[in-house]
Amino acid sequence: MITAWMFEGGGFKEIPSGDVSDVVDDKGIVWVDIVDPTEDDLACVQEEFSLHPLAMEDIRERHQRPKIETYPDHSFLVAYTGDRDEIEMFVGCGWLVTVGPEGWSSAGIRSRFERVRVSEPTVGYLVYTLLDEIVDGYFSATDEIEDALEALEERIFSEQLPEEQDIQRDLFDVRRRLLEFRRLIVPLRDVVQVLVRREADWVDDVTATHLQDVYDHVLRAVDVLDSHREIMGNAVDAHLAIISNRVNDVMKRMTSWGAILLGSTLVAGIYGMNFEHMPELGWLLGYPFALGIMFTITVVGYRYFRAKDWL
C-alpha cells in the first residue's frame, strides 16, 4: 500500500500517490511510505522517482544488512527497528521513500517531525527523525533482553533444581537473540558515520549535528549489547559450574556409601568363604559378633562422612 504526504506549512498533507512527481520540485518535502509492497507498488515508485535497479533488487530480495549506497541523484539506506523490521529508505533532494513490512507505521515519526523547532525543516532532518526513532527503539529491545537474562540468573541460582534442558535451551535462545540483534545494529554505526561526514548531498549542517546524537545512541546500544553478551557468557559458565558441583555432590554421596558398605561387605565376605577350619565357625557368639562389627563399621563410617559434609 502506498501513502504519500507533503510537508508544507508546518504539517503533513496527504496527496494522491499518482501526483508525487508533479510536486517533488516544489518547496515542500514529499514523503512516500510503502507498507507491505506489491510488485505494482514497487514498479510505480521506481518509475516516479527513477530509482536505481540495483536498489530495487535489494528491496525485492530483502533481508539486507544495514547499509547506505549512493547513486547519482539519490541514496539508498537499509536499517532495522528494535522489533527487527527491515526498513528501506530512498532519499533524494526534497523527497523520501520508505518501504516497510506489514504492521510498520510512520504516524509517530510524522507527528514528531511536525513538532520540530528548526527554522527550515529539510528532508535530511526527516531522515534524522526516522533514524532517531529507530535507534531509540533499540533500548527497549535491550531492556527486554536484560530482563530475560535476570530471570535466567534467578533460575540458575535458585535453590530448587531447575530442568537442565530448559535452562540450556533458554540460554542459547537469548544468546541467539543477542547475536542476531548485534548483526542488525553494528553495521548501522557505519551508515550513520557516513551521514555525519556529510557524504550525502541531502545532509546539511543542522542534520549532521543531530545525526551525531544518533551515532552516539548507536554506540551506546552496541556497548549495552556487548555487556549483555558478557553477562550471557558468565551465566553459561555459572550454569556449567553449578551442574559440575551437583555432579560432584552426587559422586561424593555415592563414594561415601560405597566406602561405608565396603567394610560390612568385607566382613560378610570373610565369614562367607565356607572353609572347614575357621576358628569362629564353632563359636556360639560368632554370628552376633559379626553383625555387631558390620553395624559398628556402618555407624562409624556414616558419622565420619557426615562430619566431612559428604552425606
- All structural domains of the chain with their residue ranges: 1-115, 246-307
Closest CA to 71 of 49, 87, 40: 49
Give the pLDDT mean for 154-175: 74
Choose which CATH entry (3.90.320.10, 3.20.20.70, 3.40.630.10, 3.30.460.20) describes domain 1-115. 3.30.460.20
Cell 502506498 locates to: 2
pLDDT at residue number 118: 67
For the ranges 26-30, 34-38, 239-243, 304-308, which has the lowest average pLDDT? 26-30
Please measure the distance between the N-terminal and C-terminal CA atoms of the chain and give it in whole angstroms. Answer: 70
Give the pLDDT mean for 219-232: 88
Closest CA to 86 of 172, 1, 10, 188: 188
Domains 1-115 and 246-307 share a fold: no
The pLDDT tens digits for 57-105 are 888 888 888 999 988 888 999 999 888 889 999 998 888 889 988 888 8
Asked if residue 244 has pLDDT above 70, the reply is: yes
The pLDDT confidence band at residue 287, using thresholds 50, 70 and 90, is confident
- The top-level CATH class assigned to 246-307 is mainly alpha
186, HSE (Cβ side, Cα atoms, 13 Å): 9
Q: Average pLDDT of the chain?
A: 83
pLDDT at residue number 165: 65
Write out the three cell numbers for 189.
554505526
**Amino acid type, 47:** E
The pLDDT confidence band at residue 17, using thresholds 50, 70 and 90, is low
The pLDDT tens digits for 108-132 are 888 888 887 667 788 888 999 999 9
What percentage of the chain exceeds 70 in pLDDT? Answer: 93
Q: In sequence order, what DSSP letters do the residues of the chain get, joined into one string? A: -EEEEEEETTEEEEE-GGGHHHHTTSSSEEEEEEES--HHHHHHHHHHHT--HHHHHHHHH--PPSEEEE-SS-EEEEEE-TT--EEEEEEETTEEEEEE-TT---HHHHHHHHT---SS--HHHHHHHHHHHHHHHHHHHHHHHHHHHHHHHHHHT-SS---HHHHHHHHHHHHHHHHHHHHHHHHHHHHHHHHHTT-STT--HHHHHHHHHHHHHHHHHHHHHHHHHHHHHHHHHHHHHHHHHHHHHHHHHHHHHHHHHHHHHHHHHHTTS--S--GGGG-TTHHHHHHHHHHHHHHHHHHHHHHTT--
